[in-house]
Amino acid sequence: MFRIFTAGMETRNIIVTGGSGFLGQQLLKVCSEAGHQVVNVDLSKPRNGQYQTIPYVQADLSDSISANQAFAQAKEYLDGRIDDVFHMAAVVSYTLPYKMLQGPNVTAAYNVGMECINHNAFLVHMSGTAVLGHVDRAMREDDKHNPVEDYGLSKAKAENKIYQLANSEGLKAIIFRSTAPVGPGLETAGINNLYKMILQQSIIPASKGSNATYVNTEDIARAFLFAAENQQKIRHAPDSLDKIVYNLGVHEPRSDKEMAEHLVASIVGEGKKKVVEVPHWFVQAGSYFIRTGNIFANAARFVAGRRRQEPEICPSLAKLMKGPHFQDHTKFERQFENNGFRFKYPTPEEVLDTGVVHKFKTEWSHLEPPERIKELIKREIIQIN
């Protein structure tokens, strides 16, 4: 299906940083299936022997020398030319302190940006809505950075680094902000905890008043490639950060309760588990009890000579969970959809279904899936064949 969008286009030479990860592996798949040459640059090797035919270069991108050597090696694999760099490499953690996120998330983004300048390559950088913190309405590209925890802070600083290079050094770049990716590779994502909760608990809590815009992992990859192939239509003079930022997500948000009920119906059957909305003040209050317990636990570990293990930022995470986390899609619609891009999974239900199908096909394969999921799996197998 995706070949329709790339038919007749010139083969592009692409580096995917973080190609061994949750989203990066989808970039490798989509780019190679579209007929482009692609190289995976990552600190971690591909899991389970995935994509063995795709060249892999090991590198610590937070180190400028390692990044420089990796791009030089990747360039050899790409016949001496780098057209595009899809920067997915990052540490996604809402519990690690900023000093542990600065290298992989901020310094690495700067180093990759500099390599793109040196090789005259187009950069598409993966960011997220955590850079905006809590917003009471649909998030826009021109909203000011307001992160409430260290991961969001690190991604906001990375965006600023890329904008500065684009504004003053001639870097060709755009930034995607995504929220709640779901789909293949889901076992490495945070939403996986919700899947396990649905299996194990009789009552499923959902934050009251929260909404999120879900997007399929394969659609994210397709958007990256479409941006590279059509950069003359979507890249603008970067006189402000919002000029190079695009919200990436399907149009319709889904509340936490709606999403949980949909997954319950998909995984264990409709009405089999009760979903209860929890007021945010209750979540916020509980977060302080958790942090207090973690402080005592960490103090005991310190006395015993062990490293700190429990996070101390629970109230910040509770604040991040507050309210809607869905995006204003109008800029993406204007520049992408009006120029020929279409989501393969355009509704939240379809996006979440692909995640459910993936889970049933992998680590939950010993379970008997509901009939609806059986039909989805059968349909997916037919499409592949």
Scanning 131-279, the segments in alpha helix (DSSP H) are 150-168, 192-200, 217-229, 231-234, 256-267
What is the band of 351 on the pLDDT scale with cuts at 50, 70, 90?
A: very high
Fold for 3-179+214-252+326-346, please state it.
Rossmann fold (3.40.50)
Hey, how many other C-beta atoms are within 10 angstroms of the C-beta on 298?
Answer: 17
CB 12 within 8 Å of CB 228:
yes
Q: Which region among 68-72, 178-182, 188-192, 344-348 has the lowest average model confidence (pLDDT)?
A: 188-192
Q: Which pair of tokens denotes residue 322?
A: 């507050």
Residue 310, pLDDT > 90, answer no
Which pLDDT belongs to residue 325? 85
CB 127 within 8 Å of CB 141:
no
| DSSP letter assigned to residue 38 | E
Length of the chain: 385
Burial 255-288 (b: 16+ CB within 10 A, else e): bbbbbbbbbbbbbeeeeebebeeeebeebbeebe
Scanning the chain, the segments in alpha helix (DSSP H) are 3-6, 24-33, 64-77, 98-101, 108-118, 150-168, 192-200, 217-229, 231-234, 256-267, 280-303, 314-321, 330-335, 348-361, 371-384
Residue 204, pLDDT > 90, answer yes
Residue 321, pLDDT > 90, answer no
Residues of the chain with CATH 3.40.50.720: 3-179+214-252+326-346
CA 21 to chain centre: 10
Which pLDDT belongs to residue 384? 55
Which pLDDT belongs to residue 7? 46
Between the alpha carbon of residue 136 and those of residues 132, 140, 230, 320, the distances in Å are: 11, 11, 33, 12
Taking the model in full, what pTM does it have?
0.91
Give dist(CA 320, CA 159) in Å, integer.
19
CB 102 within 8 Å of CB 73:
no
Q: Which region among 77-86, 204-213, 293-302 has the lowest average model confidence (pLDDT)?
A: 293-302
Give dist(CA 136, CA 276) in Å, integer.
22
Residue 6, pLDDT > 60, answer no
Q: How many helices (H) and strands (E) does the chain have?
A: 15, 13
Nearest to 125 by CA among 34, 238, 35: 238
* Dihedral angle computed from the Cα positions of residues 252, 237, 23 and 131, in that order, rounded to the nearest 10 degrees: -70
Burial 47-64 (b: 16+ CB within 10 A, else e): eeeebeebbbbebbbbee
Between 348-361 and 371-384, two packed helices, what is the crossing angle to 10 degrees? 90
Residue 132, pLDDT > 90, answer yes
Which pLDDT belongs to residue 290? 85
**Tens digits of per-residue pLDDT, 48-76?**
666 678 999 999 999 999 999 999 999 99
Question: Which of left, alpha, beta for 357 (phi over 0: left; psi -120 to 50: alpha)?
Answer: alpha
Q: What does pLDDT average to over the chain?
A: 89
Name the CA radius of gyration of the chain, rounded: 21
**Tens digits of per-residue pLDDT, 216-268?**
999 999 999 999 999 988 888 889 999 999 999 888 999 999 999 999 998 88
Question: Residue 164: CA atoms inside 13 Å, Cβ hemisphere, count?
Answer: 11
